[in-house]
Chains A and B, each alone.
Chain A
Amino acid sequence: MIFLSLVVFIPLGAVVVRSGEGGVAAFWQAVRTPDAWASLQLTIGAAAIVALINLVMGTLIAWVLVRDDFPGKSIVDALIDLPFALPTIVAGLVLLALYGPKSPIGLDIAYSRTAVVVALLFVTLPFVVRTVQPVLLELDREMEEAAASLGAGPWVTFRRIILPNLVPAMLSGTGLAFARAIAEFGSTVLISGNLPFKTQVSAVYIFGQIETDNETAAAAVATVLLVVALVVVIGLDLVQRWAARRA
């Protein structure tokens, strides 16, 4: 407990205390500073887009990995975890090499908002895949066969039989991806170019404020991120309980 307090609770508490030092008005003012506010909007907007794309593509990839069969599938399956193992700064560099100014395929999206989204997609790839995949594996195929034998087409079977079983896993994977996307720093720092008002995400904004010794402003934005993270964590807990009750 003491260990956790020293490493986790006291430092995080210090951030919240520091952000509230000047009262609520000062906190709000620091958050509403134009560049801070723009970075928060970008962070949450980009994270939402990334979460949605992950919801669709992650489920699709999990589906292909479980229900489809093709040579090299186990390699693809192993590759999914690579973004977790790869240091984030390397992820950023790697993406910049392909989609940057020296792109060999002529696709330069560096220093744009698209680049931020692509970087976040890279680091959040495994979440939905890895939460949906085990559920899909466990799923009883007899129900689907029964539905098909009763005349349901593949789409109806998917929507009525498979999807309801997958929804809790899809939601928690998406929530995790969203939380991670909001917090991400390393992969976006190189590829975004950190242009205030355009591509600067909140984590990078906080970093800039720390570097210029403006710790109070950094703490205010950090507190907002902490609150959002907390809301997501609580939301995930609720989804799990809801799923457990339904099962």
Chain B
Amino acid sequence: MPKQILRWTALLYLLFLLVLPVGLIAWRTFGDGLAPFLESLSSPEALHAFQITFVVALWAVAVNTVFGVGMAVLLARHRFPGKRLLNAAIDLPLAVSPVVVGLALILVYGRFAPVGGWLESVGLQVIFSTPGMVIATVFVSLPLVVRAVEPVLNELGTEQEQAAHTLGAGPWQAFLRITVPGIRAALAYGVVLCLARALGEYGAIAVVSGRLVGQTQTLTLFVEERFQNFREGDAFAAATALALIAVITLLVTKLLRPRDTGEESR
């Protein structure tokens, strides 16, 4: 029966590509109980990697939230020359290789580049330190908030905002009281996606951070370094921790995903 064949082809494909590999890593990690897992993750290097990862991710999410909402408002509420170009440019980071992102940032903000050299002379080191990692993360997760918020803004329309204006609200007040509640769910969805992407970024961070163990090493870099140094237990534990974050993100986004974009604003 062809229906059965289709079903089993699809399921077997997913089993071997997705379920077995991910399941195996969990089994390898938790095979000897929870203790080795926790022990691997509580080494000073691992804890430091956790800390760096979260600092970088939180900064990147904060920047992307502010500018993401700003750009979404710009795209949804204003007409200006070059709008189509801006629209296309926002999706660009999805198509650019993370390594190329890293290279691009080094060429501009590196120590031997004009901009980077000047920043260095005023005491701000970008590449091989936190600011560079934040910029790299912002780059790769740039479209997520914009693309989550923009369709909702389009859907909401401007009627309520105009009503607020006629009732004497300033632009800022109208934004906070009317627009923000309206996009709340979509914004949360975008932020969660952005956070997940930021926590999991590897390629761009690998280039920009210099991979200094104990200094700029994030969790993803920790996984790679431990694996290359034949400390598989540590690598698997950190990978499982990241995978757990990914699964939680997945569940949260499933709950937050705007079912139909015209949701209630209050």
Contacts and interface: CB of A to CB of B under 8 A. Distances in A.
A121 B236 CA distance: 22
Contact of A93 (B86, B92, B102, B239): B239
Contacts, number: 213
Interface stretch (B105-113, B149-157, B165-173): B105-113
A243 to B, nearest CB: 18
A23 interface: no
B86 A215 contact: no
B103 interface: yes
A184 B224 CA distance: 16
Interface SS of chain A: helix
A218 B223 CA distance: 25
Nearest to B113: A14
B24 interface: yes
Interface in A45-96: 57, 60-61, 63-65, 68, 70, 76, 78-83, 85-90, 93-95
B44 to A, nearest CB: 21
Contact of A87 (B22, B92, B103, B202): B202
Contacts of A179: 94-95
B17 A63 contact: no
Given A63-B6, A68-B7, A87 B203 contact: no
A64 to B, nearest CB: 4
Interface in A150-191: 154, 179-180, 182-186, 189-190
Interface residues of B, number: 71
Contacts of A233: 88, 91-92, 95
Interface string B131-146: 0000100110010000
Interface string A100-130: 0000110000000000001001100100000
B203 A88 contact: yes
Given A87-B199, A185-B203, A70 B7 contact: yes
Interface residues of A, number: 72
B104 interface: yes
A147 interface: no
A95 B243 CA distance: 13
B135 A82 contact: no
Contact of A1 (B9, B86, B102): B86
Nearest to A183: B97
A183 B96 contact: yes
B24 A98 contact: yes
B25 A125 contact: no
B124 interface: no
Contacts of B35: none
Interface in B18-50: 18-22, 24-25, 28
B18 A219 contact: no
Interface of A: 1, 3-4, 7-12, 14-15, 18, 57, 60-61, 63-65, 68, 70, 76, 78-83, 85-90, 93-95, 97-99, 104-105, 118, 121-122, 125, 154, 179-180, 182-186, 189-190, 202-204, 206-207, 210, 215, 218-219, 222, 225-226, 229-230, 232-233, 237
26 contacts: A7-B135, A8-B92, A8-B139, A8-B142, A11-B105, A12-B92, A65-B10, A76-B11, A79-B19, A80-B14, A86-B22, A87-B199, A87-B201, A87-B242, A88-B203, A89-B239, A93-B223, A95-B21, A98-B24, A179-B94, A202-B97, A203-B99, A206-B99, A219-B107, A226-B96, A229-B97
Interface of B: 2-3, 6-7, 9-11, 13-14, 17-22, 24-25, 28, 67, 71, 86, 88-109, 113, 135, 138-139, 142, 196, 199-203, 206-207, 220, 223-224, 227, 235-236, 239, 242-243, 246-247, 249-250, 253-254
Given A8-B89, A88-B203, A237-B88, 13 more contacts: A4-B89, A12-B104, A60-B13, A82-B250, A87-B220, A90-B25, A90-B242, A97-B24, A125-B17, A185-B203, A215-B107, A222-B103, A225-B96
